[in-house]
Structure 1
């Protein structure tokens, strides 16, 4: 018996105690997260009241409090959207209107307030979420930052208006850009609560890709977002788009209300649909036909987003924060300028002389067809915004991503749209195909540059190649290549100059 007790005592001494789940208290109550590999995570945290029933097409409302500990071990529902079709940026779970949640990753051991990085996902404002493994913040958090990923309302639930909704609004009530309002509400929640996770509310970086990149630029011109963030990163975030106005039609851009009337007619509610009838529609009825991001989901409502992004930047009215902005080398390689969609129509206003000059700059029709849409939508607009931001006296850093895995099956001739995401998050294991050493080196470099920027407002540091600042080194960028990052002049500048002259003529 004595020997058995001695052995039992030895086993108790040798066996470590089970780690306790991390807890933290926010304004709404106590959260119980999970800890793994030195990182604490808190998932599915509500930052607003579910926007359902009478709150559909209303500005977000602060979340309710709760009693006791709330389990924060798993992500919440993704926002209402069409099936994912394999997009790794969508995330698990079924769509729901009750989706306004966020996720936080923070080092378990930390000293002093840490920089905060808030990710805004892409997906054309129609799909995506902050919940997929692709956007897991663990590896970024290991670099000494707090990472937050958010959901926001999408499609017609997030970007929509109708005369019947306008008629019931009180004077001055915000409308149209409900998804952007959700992003602002999430940033307000971060400011109020991130210190509980070890984050510094005075050192917040917003970063996003595609529609998320466009969201970052919208937040840079949104009065209600001013002061909620202190650095900005735009990954393939357009820049020259002309948004739909809330109620006023303009040539080539029907207003949000005109588009809302057309949708109500398409689903059988007629021109005189009531606000109640619209709110009674099952969420799935709002999905089709899918609204076009470039011409329908981007809205200038006059209050949340007061003007087009490029107009605000040209006038110096954007947030005066350090900016990293860039594109991929083969963004929309599969879209041809002859196609009927909004992107394909971008060159329709060219004169014969402009078209001939550009075709020659691309080396002929084949080169023009393969690259002009990417240059019109992404590459020239990114250069333009970087120039405008630097001209206003703000730090600006331009990049080009051209890392292509050897296992890449796409005939893109470069890095396609959205392919930089797993590198930025250092989550190459989520790609689903073999990745080589050059990919892991590129992911390490990008994650290091991004987190250093969040800490200092400047991506430079350590032994990495120096990233030129656009104001002091005009038209110089950092290109991420298969051989590593390289500082160099902007590639293909001559054809971008021709596109700039085209935009100056058509959109002065």
Structure 2
């Protein structure tokens, strides 16, 4: 039987294929509710007997219902769990990859089928995925109580640190090497990885990092405080520790959604109108004392090797799923640039690169690079500047679909890197059934992740300011015949020279 002994007790997994065993829903911290609500993660209670590890744990409070993944239900409290896939249940000391899911710090979970670790385990990794607190529970600012009791900001980041501590203490029981851990993530999960690289609490818990499409915003304490006032008002509660604690999680989830919708409806509401993400890591001077770009440039993460990837058409996905404002006129495009304080000439430069494109496409190209593409490049650059080693890559797999182009958009690269691009739930992301060339691309990306996690060498040269070398992920078919209208993001980077990052604007 596949039974593993952890610091909390014994847990039984399930053999999913060949020698790969999955062990799901293992608590790494106590349920963060009741007296522990709005606090940092507390130790999980040990159990007796053998815990069943054949099902994912509950997801964190959220309103999203994602394909193939469970939805959150009020009353689901044991949300701080990890899942492990191991190809060496009887011993070994394999590289470990820990995955942090994305979702604008507001939705998502480790139970999404595209994050299944089986293919990566077959490639020689012990894979860990985790849930952490989202939305207000994880990233909302709670004022100090009248008694002086302080509630930490960035509770979701603290959860991630607690999961990494669990890995250090327990992963050897699953055949993993606690001294060879890579932490990886996408979108807000990738931005979380960047934050962990500059956090004292996470120092020494991992030696490598993978950041796919890292999201650029960080918030100041003032922005976080203002968001708390908005959400509390929408919930009908005072913005005090007592008032917020009196609001059950489902009420704060619903209130956050109402605030988001108000920004969506109001084109005069500033930068949040275009993508009203309420939550992001807070520069609190404690958990996160500095933004990742500044910290990396100062050498805070120099001992961690970094692999960064972004997609060529990031923001087309956000438009397709209706989470981004439509900008279809030149006047609105100009207002968008002003609301974000973009450098003079930047939008005109993107227009010149796409002379025949509609306004919407120019807007999506600029916004995608603003939130993801340019920030990805800067993470690699600042890490190298601070004495670290970085690798840069770009996902540019595209093809012609039956109704419209299959784009290299946000999230499309992750199923390829996990080896799960054949899953039905990601058909929309990847543009339908895979071709043999698509499967070959996925095998190359899986191998790159596994090699980087194992040795720090993904298969192409590291980045430097002189050559600016990077890997471009395309199918072999695309390499033979370039799709019409492709714009190389590298040609546009000079336009961003005057743009300040990270984005602090709410």
Please say whether Structure 1 and Structure 2 have the same fold, judged by a TM-score greater than 0.5. Answer: yes
Task: Give the corresponding residue for 1:223.
Answer: 200
Paired residues of 1:124 and 1:293 also in contact (CA < 8 A): no
In structure 2, the residue matched to 1:426 is 419
Deviation at residue 266 of structure 1 after TM alignment: 2.2
Do the aligned partners of residues 376 and 472 (structure 1) sit closer, same or farther apart at CA in structure 2, a change above 3 Å counting?
Answer: closer
State the partner residue of 2:250: 284
Matched, 1:213 2:190: yes
Alignment correspondent of 1:360:
352
**CA distance in structure 2 between the aligned counterparts of 1:384 and 1:369, rounded to whole angstroms:** 21
Shift of 1:211: 0.8
Deviation at 1:180, TM superposition (A): 0.6
Residue 475 of structure 1 deviates from its aligned partner by 1.4
Moved more, 284-293 or 194-203: 284-293
Q: 1:379 aligns with which of 373, 394, 405?
A: 373
Choose from 195, 211, 214 the match for 2:172. 195
Aligned-residue offset at 1:376: 1.7
Offset from partner CA, 1:179-211 (integer Å, 9 cap, x none): 111000000000011111011000000110111
Per the alignment, in what secondary structure is the counterpart of residue 494 of structure 1? helix
| 1:138 maps to 2:118 | yes
Partner of 1:245: 220
Indicate how the Cα distance of structure 1 residues 124 and 346 shifts in structure 2: closer, same or farther if over 3 A, else same. farther
Contact 2:293–2:502 (Cα < 8 Å) also in 1: no
- 1:403 alignment partner in structure 2: 397
Q: Which structure exhibits the higher relative contact order, with contacts defined as CA atoms closer than 8 Å and separated by 6 or more residues? A: 2
Pairing of 1:181-192 with structure 2 (within 5 A): 181-192=158-169
> Residue by residue, what CA displacement relative to the aligned partner does 1:2-49 show, whole Å, maximum 9, x if unpaired?
xxxxxxxxxxxxxxxxxxx30111111111111232111111100001
Task: Structure 1: give runs of 5+ residues left out of the alignment.
Answer: 1-20, 461-466
Task: Decide which moves more: 310-319 or 134-143.
Answer: 310-319
3-state SS of 2:279 partner: helix
Counting only pairs closer than 5 Å after superposition, residues 4-403 of structure 1 correspond to structure 2 as: 21-37=1-17, 38-84=19-65, 86-87=66-67, 90-91=69-70, 94=73, 96-108=76-88, 112-163=92-143, 165-168=144-147, 170=149, 175-239=152-216, 241=217, 243-246=218-221, 249=222, 254=223, 256-270=224-238, 273-288=239-254, 289-290=256-257, 294=277, 296-333=279-316, 334=319, 335=324, 338=327, 344=336, 348-350=340-342, 352-363=344-355, 366=358, 368-403=362-397
CA separation in 2, counterparts of 1:345 and 1:497?
17
Q: Provide the secondary structure at the position in 2 that maps to 1:214.
A: helix
How many Å separate the matches in 1 of 2:282 and 2:191? 12
From the CA coordinates, give the structure whose radius of gyration is larger.
1
Q: CA distance change for structure 1 residues 392 and 56 in 2, over 3 Å: closer, same or farther?
A: same
Could you say what secondary structure the match of 2:391 adopts? strand
**263 and 111 in structure 1: CA distance in 2 versus 1, 3 angstrom threshold:** closer
Question: CA-to-partner distance for each residue in 1:197-250, whole Å, 9 max, x for gaps?
Answer: 0110000001101111111101111110010011000000134x3x2223xx2x
Q: Quote the residue 2:443 is aligned against.
A: 444
SS state at 1:378 partner: helix
SS at structure 2 position matched to 1:428 = coil
TM, length-normalised to structure 2: 0.83
* Deviations 1:62-121 (CA, angstroms, capped at 9, x unpaired): 11111111111111111111032x445x44674633210110010146663100000000
Q: 1:13 corresponds to which residue?
A: none
Q: How far apart, CA to CA, are the structure 1 residues paired with 2:215 and 2:453?
A: 22
Q: 2 CA distance for matches of 1:45 and 1:399?
A: 33
| Structure 2 gaps, min length 5 | 261-274, 480-486
Are the aligned partners of 2:301 and 2:388 in contact in 1 as well (CA < 8 Å)?
no
- SS in structure 2 opposite 1:399? strand
Give aligned pairs, total: 460
Take 1:422 and 1:276, find their aligned partners in 2: how far apart are those partners?
Answer: 43
Q: Is the contact made by 2:345 and 2:495 (CA closer than 8 Å) also made in structure 1?
A: no
* RMSD between aligned residues: 2.9
| Equivalent pair of 2:84/2:128 in contact (CA under 8 Å) | yes
Q: CA deviation at 1:370?
A: 3.9
Q: Is the 8 A contact 1:27 1:193 kept in 2?
A: yes
